[in-house]
Amino acid sequence: MKREITKEDKELAAAGYEHLEEQKHKGKVEGKDDLENVDIQEHRMSLHDLSQTLGTEIDSKDPGQSYGLTSDDAKTRLLKDGPNILTPPKKKSALRKYLDCLMTMFNLLLIIAGILEYVLLGIDFKDNFANTYLGGILIAVAFLNAFIEFYQLQKSEAILASFLAMIPPSCRVVRDGTLMSIPAADLVKGDIVLIRSGDKTPADLILFAANDLKVDNSSLTGESEPQERFPRPNGANVRPVEADNLVFNSTLVVNGEGWGVVVRTGDHTLIGQIASLTGGESGNRSPLSIEIGRFVLMVSAIAILFAVVFFVVGITTVYKGKAAQTVTFAVSILVAFVPEGLPSVVTLLLSIAAKRMAAQNVLVKDLQGVETLGTLHQLTAYEGLTLLATDKTGTLTRNQMTVTNIWSGEKMYSAFQSNNDNPDTLPFSIDAPGMRETVDIAALNSRVKFDKTDVPFEQRKILGDATETGLTRFAGRYISDYDGHQKAYPKVFEIPFNSTNKWALVILNKKHENGTLTAYIKGAPERVLAKCSTYLKDGKEVPITDDFRKAYDKAYDYMASRGHRVIANAQKLLPSPDYDSNTAFAKTDGNYPATEYCFVSLTSLEDPPKHGVREAIGTLRLAGIKVMMVTGDHPKTAEAIARKINLILGDTKDTLSAKTGRPIEEIYDDEVEAVVVHGDDIDGLQGWQWDQIFAKQEIVFARTSPQHKLEIVKRAQALGHIVGVTGDGVNDSPALKKADLGIAMNISGSDVSKEAANMILLDDNFASTVKGVAEGRQIFVNLKRSIQYTISHSTPEVIPQLLYVVVPIPLPLSAILILVIDLGFELFVALSFAWDKPETKDGLMRMSPRKPVNDRSILSLKKQALRRTKTLRRDPETQEVIPPSRFSIWMGKVKATFTRAFWVDVFERADGESLVDTKLLSYAYLEAGVIEMVGALVAYFVVFFKNGFGPSDLRRAQISGRAYPPNFLIMLEYFTKSSPDFLNSRGEIIPAWKQVDALGQAQSIVYLSVFIIQCFNVYAVKAKFSYPFGKSIVGNYYNLAGILAGACLGMFIVYTPPLHVVFGGSVHLSPLYWLIPIAFGVLLLGWASIRVVLMRKSIEQSRVKDIKGLMMFPTMRTMSMRSRH
């Protein structure tokens, strides 16, 4: 039952989803000429000729019995042909990477400014000789800045490369008649390889046996649909790309299984011959890297604008036509505004984060992203994560299935020692009715393989998925000769399980009273039951009745509600003469028994949650991240597991109905916080229904297909969510690829899922996602602190320059001293923020995501989308959208600036936090910046006063230095070695040497004041949750090292006489003057403490509230061993 929704509400809800409805998949065929010219001919040969040519033994009737190559032969071939690896694509040279680092906006501004100084030197060498130092330093700093960034990039690349080497691709191969797993690099021509759904093909293979095998060739041919592949005993006389008996290296197996013989390895494979397909770089950019790019452009534009303005003001006032000096003055303004070290800070932050993630067994897969700004896109995607969609089996659970209960003949049996079953549950016995058939279906309708067959069953490693492995382990306990049992009943026909059918069928040569063939089917209970007309009871087939269906529903709910996976089993004894050994079964024609089966049993398997999953999900939810389960399991099973792991705490409509006795139809959507959506309902959901689902805090999607998972991700992204997806199977790969952050499992994950993901959890530990979120958020905080700290010095650098022009007073800071501030101690201290640790233990992980998705943000997005929709041009007949031209798009943007809606959107209050927002700018320019400026100017005037210059004297001296009108011939210039004596307001005469020394002392104290107050600012910018005095604030020893290095640099510049030629300065500056900026530094810490108090309420409001019922104790073993209450 739903509350009334108006037409306007539905129209608004549908907005933003149109592009998802209109998307059509179009395959692009790239490198077509290359595909035509490849040199592969083996697919034309018959299997017999191929076997002779390659010198290997294959058995197409029973491929598992193929002997393959001997180990010695394989070693010889490996030495002859080399390893099965592709020559990596040509990477950028170290020089090219360095040049990329050098060609950033900030570095280019420095280089241009430096070149400009040298141009002035060429115009007038004598007067501009001092600019030699300034120009050289500007250019050198740009190169040094680029080197720091380049060095960190190289380190990051080395870290990631070492972790890629930890997970070499492997494959299943038959050697010496034994199926084994070996590194794919050791494959040689003639090897027999088994490929299965989820595998990445390790080499070019010719198939000699296959069962419903489909491969994804889109990376090679652009075909969007999976292509079916099967053996051709006599070969296929077509082009290689059209051969359906040939499977190419690096293509992904998405369905079925096949046996093939290796015909090409390494660079001789099809993909190895097409160099153009092995290159190409990812163009993904995270929201954070986009913000950094915008900030760089914004600051650069402001710096250029102010430099031009100050140039114009300077040349018309204080410098009166002296272009050379005015340019140097404008350069100082440019340098003051630009945070030159930002690219290095970003790179270092991400490099350190990558190292930390590597220590947590998290592999950042995309190496190509390391070569650009916005490096390690996946790490920065973690910091903005708002929704995490996770698979269940193998991701949240251990992927260790154990058979627990069997329901057959309307009786429940326990197959696992348990003390919390119902009293009427019987102990399992192989002689009980229906049990022998259940065991046979588990053993014979199976596609598992064993690593060895010459050891007892208990000692074998089973190669197969978790469900089949659990069923095989169960069946093996009751079959004395497992291999003999399988050989006694050979397969005649098989349809493997897939995510579309959700069942697996096998027809065996197994005799019975009415014939020689028996069909077994197992799969999703609702799908299997739909094919049945009878059920097995006490060894006899009995028609299915309503009473049986009620008993079935009760048993199914009992199993599923305990969080168990439930499999249904059925059989059909195929009668002669309708079915015999000559019957040609075919899946494509539907020529196989699909109805009139006899229901045998329900089998439940328990897969307990992984250790740490419950706490991890609780932590993510307390961090404001919505976690939802997307699984192929039954809704009851999914909900039961979700309740064990903190994913569902509240009521769904079903549970509320059971509690209150109200019919489900009478329960409103807004009465419940949890929802379980069945996959069958997804295709029919409208926009407003998707909105209602995503508005819930606790969401489970069950019985979903791969296409459903992809649709869920797209719908969430359309609402503004930054979506992460975790998964391990083939069915997760489309969603992993589409997500902003795809996370695959290494141990239980398929090759297909690893190929699609951005990150791989090497130890399959779901809790690593929590560490990723914490690391991503800390990256953002540290980067923000670094920017906040760096731009705080702009005000004390720029305002004194303004006073120099307007008042005027002697120049407080020279351009070269500004450069020393920005690229001397400032750069190293700014870099030290990369090692900052969280301010409080759980502060960051109790805050909402910095750009949360809520009702207001969704409404804003939808209003914009609705306006866009109404302005789109459509074809009058088909109503399809006509794509606008680039010019139309550009004109539309220009026109939009003159509309009310545009400015409403611009000034609309957003709940999110940006990298550079008004709070940061206010603190840097108006709070800390003003304190630093006042402190520096106070020290400046005190030093001058002690040297005989009052403020009025400084103004008089500076005005005297300006050009007089033309009828005046005398121009007095003070504060130079050749200056005349100056008579101050106290009647004292100050000679030239003392004027120069006074200016040197004044400029030195301004420089030192900025440095000293910035030392205090290092800790002030960290104060958000707590005062700037705690251990967490001062615990970063790299900050202290940066400050110490800055102090050494400052002392060296100020108190080393030979350097005064370049930097100015004076050895006569008394250390007592340092007390002035120290006092203002203490004032800054005091103000930072006041800010903590003032902002405490708003920070408290943005904290995620405690969640009632959250279980934060460890996930314990849940294998039905709890006592019954």
| Whole-angstrom distance, CA of residue 32 vs CA of residue 860 | 45
State residue 1123's pLDDT score: 32
The stretch 749-755 carries a mean pLDDT of 79
The stretch 411-423 carries a mean pLDDT of 75
The C-alpha angle 1118, 1124, 1125, rounded to 5 degrees, equals 120
State residue 698's pLDDT score: 94
With 90 as the cut, is the pLDDT of residue 532 above it?
yes
| Whole-angstrom distance, CA of residue 782 vs CA of residue 787 | 9
State residue 512's pLDDT score: 92
Tokens linked to 174: 């038959």
Provide the b/e sequence for 648-662 (b: ≥16 CB within 10 Å). Answer: bbbbbbbbbbeeeee
**C-alpha distances in Å from residue 427, one per residue of 168, 404, 435, 440, 841:** 45, 11, 12, 19, 50
State residue 1125's pLDDT score: 33
What is the greatest pairwise CA distance in the chain? 130
State residue 439's pLDDT score: 96
| Whole-angstrom distance, CA of residue 275 vs CA of residue 267 | 9
| Whole-angstrom distance, CA of residue 18 vs CA of residue 874 | 13
Q: How confident is the model at residue 116 (pLDDT cuts 50, 70, 90)?
A: confident
The C-alpha angle 498, 204, 736, rounded to 5 degrees, equals 45
* CB-based contact 199:750 (threshold 8 Å): yes
Helix (H, G, I), strand (E, B) or coil at 170: strand
* CB-based contact 248:207 (threshold 8 Å): no
Q: How confident is the model at residue 206 (pLDDT cuts 50, 70, 90)?
A: very high
| Residue whose structure tokens are 């930072």 | 1088
Strands 387-390, 723-727: parallel, antiparallel or unpaired by DSSP?
Answer: parallel
* CB-based contact 1020:791 (threshold 8 Å): no
Specify the higher pLDDT residue, 523 or 453. Answer: 523
Helix (H, G, I), strand (E, B) or coil at 1074: helix
**C-alpha distances in Å from residue 9, one per residue of 15, 21, 870:** 10, 19, 16
State residue 1060's pLDDT score: 82
Helices (H), 536-624: 546-560, 613-622
Q: How many residues does the chain have?
A: 1125
The stretch 332-353 carries a mean pLDDT of 74
Spatial neighbors of 952 by CB under 8 A, at least 6 apart, are 985
State residue 28's pLDDT score: 39
Tokens linked to 19: 């592009």
Q: How confident is the model at residue 503 (pLDDT cuts 50, 70, 90)?
A: very high
The C-alpha angle 645, 648, 651, rounded to 5 degrees, equals 145
| Whole-angstrom distance, CA of residue 56 vs CA of residue 208 | 13
Helix (H, G, I), strand (E, B) or coil at 254: strand
State residue 620's pLDDT score: 93
- Give the 3-state DSSP-derived string for 761-813, with helices as H, strands as E and coil as C: ECCCCCCHHHHHHHHHHHHHHHHHHHHHHHHCCHHHHHHHHHHHHHCCCCCCC
Per-residue pLDDT reduced to its tens digit, 55-69: 898 888 888 888 899
* CB-based contact 123:312 (threshold 8 Å): no
| Whole-angstrom distance, CA of residue 844 vs CA of residue 775 | 10
| Whole-angstrom distance, CA of residue 836 vs CA of residue 788 | 14
| Whole-angstrom distance, CA of residue 284 vs CA of residue 292 | 14
Report phi then psi at 872, rounded to 5: -75, 140
Report phi then psi at 99, rounded to 5: -65, -35
First to last CA, the chain: 36
Tokens linked to 460: 């074998």
- Give the 3-state DSSP-derived string for 445-488, with helices as H, strands as E and coil as C: CCCCEECCCCCCHHHCCEECCHHHHHHHHHHHCCCCCHHHHHHH
Helices (H), 218-260: 218-221
| Whole-angstrom distance, CA of residue 840 vs CA of residue 842 | 6
- Residue 583's Cβ-side half-sphere holds a number of Cα atoms within 13 Å equal to 23
With 80 as the cut, is the pLDDT of residue 433 above it?
yes
* CB-based contact 528:502 (threshold 8 Å): no
State residue 370's pLDDT score: 36
Q: Which residues pair with 193 in a beta bridge?
A: 173, 260
Q: How confident is the model at residue 368 (pLDDT cuts 50, 70, 90)?
A: very low
Name the nearest CA neighbour of 117 among 305, 314, 331: 331
Report phi then psi at 639, rounded to 5: -65, -40
Helix (H) or strand (E) holding 832: helix 826-832
Name the nearest CA neighbour of 382 among 914, 744, 806, 742: 742
Q: Name the DSSP class of 742.
A: E
With 90 as the cut, is the pLDDT of residue 474 above it?
yes
Name the nearest CA neighbour of 808 among 333, 328, 311, 317: 317
| Whole-angstrom distance, CA of residue 38 vs CA of residue 268 | 9
| Residue whose structure tokens are 């497992």 | 482
Helix (H) or strand (E) holding 955: helix 951-960
Per-residue pLDDT reduced to its tens digit, 919-930: 898 999 999 999
Greatest mean pLDDT range, 168-182, 412-426, 824-838: 168-182
| Residue whose structure tokens are 């058995």 | 59
Average the pLDDT over each of 50-59, 199-208, 310-319 and give the range with the smallest value.
Answer: 310-319
Name the nearest CA neighbour of 737 among 717, 760, 758: 758
| Whole-angstrom distance, CA of residue 792 vs CA of residue 829 | 13
Is 391 labeled as catalytic in the residue annotation?
Answer: yes
Specify the higher pLDDT residue, 851 or 945. Answer: 945
| Whole-angstrom distance, CA of residue 596 vs CA of residue 809 | 101
Helices (H), 41-130: 47-54, 71-81, 94-102, 105-123
Average pLDDT, the chain: 83
Q: Which residues pair with 173 in a beta bridge?
A: 180, 193
Provide the b/e sequence for 1041-1061 (b: ≥16 CB within 10 Å). Answer: ebbebbeebbeebbbeeeebe
> Active-site residue among 391, 691, 740, 751?
391
The stretch 858-881 carries a mean pLDDT of 70
Q: Name the DSSP class of 373.
A: S
| pTM value > 0.85 | no
Name the nearest CA neighbour of 676 among 629, 611, 622, 717: 629
| Whole-angstrom distance, CA of residue 650 vs CA of residue 659 | 12
| Whole-angstrom distance, CA of residue 210 vs CA of residue 75 | 28
State residue 150's pLDDT score: 84
State residue 127's pLDDT score: 62
* CB-based contact 608:1120 (threshold 8 Å): no
Q: Name the DSSP class of 855.
A: H
